[in-house]
Amino acid sequence: MRSIAHQIPVARFPGYRDLAGFAFEASSVDKALIVKLADLLFTQQAQNALLIGGPGTGKTHWLRLWASQA
């Protein structure tokens, strides 16, 4: 835990993110797809995820969430 607590600021993540902190109703993202991607199985299968969207759509939020879970 101490190592992880040190690595997060070094990676310049502003803080822990989780699904509860995302406002699905304020975004046009597909909630079912995001919940499916949140289990990170695509990384175990060596697949990529490409996030496309305008500013403020939550791309960085999801990247921070996935990085903290990985």
Picking from 47, 27, 6, 25, the residue whose alpha carbon sits closest to that of residue 66 is 47
d(CA 70, CA 59): 16
What's residue 14's pLDDT? Answer: 59
> Does 62 have pLDDT greater than 80?
no
d(CA 54, CA 33): 18
Confidence of residue 22 (pLDDT cuts 50, 70, 90): confident
DSSP E strand boundaries for the chain = none
Domain boundaries, the chain: 2-69
User: Residue length, the chain?
Assistant: 70
